[in-house]
Amino acid sequence: MNPMIRKEVRQRMRERRGWLLPSLYLLALGAVVVFAYFVSTTDQGLMEIQGSQIGVTLFLTVAFAQLALLLLLAPIFSAGALTIEKEQHTFAGLLTSLLTTNQIWWGKFAASLLFVVLLLVTSLPVMSLAFAFGGIGPWEVFMVSATTLVVLGSMSAVGLYWSSVFRRSMHATAVGYGTVIALCVVTAILFFVRISMMRQGGGIWAEIPLNVRAPIYANPFFFLIMSLSPPRYLYPDWVASLVVFAVLGGIAVVLTLRNLRRSGDAA
């Protein structure tokens, strides 16, 4: 195992937040499930609503709440991965160690992503509660989990890039949250503004020009919505979002490695 991964994982799990964050995360998801169940049953009455409707409601609520919570947590672990070394004046020693820049990046990236993946895995039992009511199968759980993992991987890579740019964790984390807000909010605003400016309105999704749809492909929640499509309908929208997040993460990786090499040469 990469020694950087071993060191980072041990350090994170020994901290108080190593057990506090998963507990608070599951508590928040549990509260969301209870609220969704209460709303879905009291509005229509227990005798009128089908069990599959409750299952679908619970599943969708947990899926979107899970993505929102993990997007809020991802910058905390990735954006401070390298800045903490700079603040503790150990960054130069890390760059001059026997580890290559690729190993340093991989160690920091894997350690920051693994903790978020831990939260994702712990929420699977909560998400699987929908099985008890019906309407949801293993395929939907797999696609939602895989899509969420892709988004988190891309956001972790972006956060690590900001960590290589700034010297303070506060600055890197703030810009990391700015990136999340831009992808979640700004892309949606751009899409709906472009839709409203079209003379013929939105119309059928397939009839909307690609240049109008382009911003929404970078939206994590649109990516999640498309993952709920039947397998034969995953192309082109889900695949397009997958490519966008893969390219975004790849660009962040290349730029981070470049910054690490430049810092290593300066050291």
Nearest Cα residue to 109 out of 52, 156, 144: 156
For the segment 51-107, what is each residue's pLDDT rounded down to a tens digit?
Answer: 678 888 889 999 999 999 999 999 988 998 999 999 998 898 888 888 889 999 999
Pick 145 or 204 by higher pLDDT: 145
pLDDT band at 49 (very low <50, low <70, confident <90, very high): low
For the segment 247-267, what is each residue's pLDDT rounded down to a tens digit?
Answer: 999 999 999 999 999 987 665
Percent of the chain with pLDDT over 70: 93
For the segment 121-145, what is each residue's pLDDT rounded down to a tens digit?
Answer: 988 888 888 888 888 888 999 999 9
Structural domain boundaries of the chain?
Answer: 3-266
pLDDT of residue 237: 93
pLDDT at 200 over 70: no
Percent of the chain with pLDDT over 90: 51
For the segment 224-254, what is each residue's pLDDT rounded down to a tens digit?
Answer: 999 999 999 999 999 999 999 999 999 999 9
Instruction: In whole angstroms, give the CA distance from residue 35 to residue 220.
Output: 24
The rounded mean pLDDT for the chain is 88
pLDDT of residue 47: 53
Q: How many CB atoms lie within 10 A of CB 121?
A: 11
Instruction: In whole angstroms, give the CA distance from residue 23 to residue 27.
Output: 6
pLDDT of residue 8: 78
Q: How many Cα atoms occupy the beta-carbon half-sphere of 137 within 13 Å? A: 4
pLDDT of residue 44: 56
The model carries a pTM of 0.91
